[in-house]
Amino acid sequence: MMLPSPARGAFERVAAIINEAVAAGVFPGAVLLVAQRGEVLQHAAFGSRSLEPQRTPMERDTVFDLSSLTKPLATTTGVMLLVREGKLRVDDRVTRFIPNFGVYGKAGISVHHLLAHCSGLPAWRPFHTEVTTEAARNRRSPVLASRSARAFIYEQIHRARLEYPPASRSLYSDLGFLLLGELVELVAGTTLDRFCHDRIFRPLGLRSTGFVDLERVRLERLAPVASAIAPTERCPWRRKVLCGEVHDDNAWAAGGVAGHAGLFATAADVHALVCRLRACALGEDSFLPADVVRRFWTRDALVHDSTWALGWDTPSATCSSAGTKVSRHAVGHLGFTGTSVWIDLERDAHVILLTNRVHPSRQDERIREVRPRVHDAVWEALDA
C-alpha cells in the first residue's frame, strides 16, 4: 500500500524514535510492524539482533522470545478454542478439572478469574529455586527444565494460599496463567505446546512460532538456529547469554513450555495471528466465533478500575504503553523481554513492537518511556 506523503513523514518520525532509542542503548534492536485493515503498512528492522558474543544486524524475520505475549497469543487463544468446542466455559470453576485445587479457600476460583487476573493467586513465586531446593533433598525430585518440574510447579500452585479474596481486586499473576496452561492440557488431553502447534500455529500457517521444549532439546541433542533468534540476557545463574531457550526463569524450570511464557515468534507471525483474530471478531473468519473473541477483548467488569480483559489488557487512563492517542477500545499486552502488541479496534489497526531490551542485561527499563512515544507516533501516522 502506498502511503500519502503526510503519513510517510509520520512513519519517518516513528523510525527516528526507534533509531534514537537504539543509539541511546535502550535496546540493541527492534522490529516494528504496523497494519491497518489487515494490510501491512510498515515492517522494518532497526539496530542489532545481538551484541554478545558478537554484534549482528537485526532482520525483519528475526525470531523473538515473546515472554508474556504467550498469555494472549497462545494460552488465551487455546482457551477460546476450547470454549468454542464446549469443552470449557469461562465461568467453570477450576475444581471442575482439578478437584484438589479447592484447598485454602480456592474452591470458588473460576477460569474467568484467572483470565482477568483477579483470582487471588500471588503474582509470582521463585519456582525455579524451589525445584532446585527440592532436587537437593529428594532423590525422586523433579529434574530442572523438564516435564517433571512442570508437574511439581503445578502441584505447588494447587496448594498455594490466596493473597486476597477472588474478584476483590486485580493482580497480574503468572501463577494464574501457569494454571491456565495446565487446564488447557487437561481438557485437550495433550501438552500445551502440542495443542498450540496442532490447533493454532500450523492451521494458521505460522511457520516460525512455537515453544522450545527444553527436555526434547536435551534428549534429542537439538540446537537452535542461533543466527535467526534474538538473544536475551546473560543469565547470572545459567552462566551464558540465552538464545533459543526461554528467558523467564520459571518457564525455563518448567521445561520451556508454560502458560505464562515460553513462546517464540517473528513479527510477521504475530501479525498473521492478530489478523485472524481480527477477522474472527468481525465475523469474517470461522477459526473462532465472533462473540467469543469480542467477549475476550472487552474490558472485564468483575473488578472496578481493572484494565484487564480476558487474557488481554486494555489501555490505562494514564501512562499506558499504548500512548495517549490510542482509542479507548483497544487491547494489547506486553512482554518482559521487550515485546508488545496493541490492537486499536476503532482505527482497525495494530502495532507489533518486538525488541530485545534484556540483552545483554535486564537492568535498563527506559523502554517504558519509548513505547508510548512510538505508539503515539504510529497513531498520528495512521490518522494522517
Question: Nearest to residue 166, comparing CAs of 96, 125, 110, 123?
Answer: 110
Residue 5 pLDDT > 60 = no
Is pLDDT above 80 for 4? no
CATH number listed for the domain at residues 1-52+313-384 = 3.30.450.330
Tens-digit pLDDT profile for residues 32-43: 999 999 999 999
Per-residue model confidence as pLDDT tens digits over 54-113: 999 999 999 999 999 999 999 999 999 999 999 999 999 999 999 999 999 999 999 999
Q: Where are any strands of DSSP class E within 129-225?
A: 210-211
Instruction: Note the pLDDT of residue 135.
Output: 80
Sorted by where each begins, the domain ranges of the chain are: 1-52+313-384, 71-253
Per-residue model confidence (pLDDT) at position 3: 55
CA distances from 152 to 133, 182, 249, 320, 342 (A): 12, 12, 15, 36, 34
What pLDDT does 299 receive? 97
pLDDT of residue 323: 98
Q: List residues bridging with 211 in a β-sheet.
A: 263
Backbone phi, then psi, for 33, in 5-degree steps?
Answer: -135, 125
Residue 2 has pLDDT above 90, yes or no: no
Higher pLDDT: 10 or 102? It is 102
CA–CA distance, 44 with 35 (Å, rounded to integer):
12
User: Residue 56: in which H helix or E strand, if any?
Assistant: strand 56-57
C-alpha cell at 260: 505464562
Name the grid cell of 261.
511464557
Residues 6+ apart with CB under 8 A from 296: 76, 80, 115, 309, 310, 311, 312
pTM of the model: 0.97
Topology of the domain covering 71-253: Beta-lactamase (3.40.710)
Tens-digit pLDDT profile for residues 270-287: 999 999 999 999 999 999
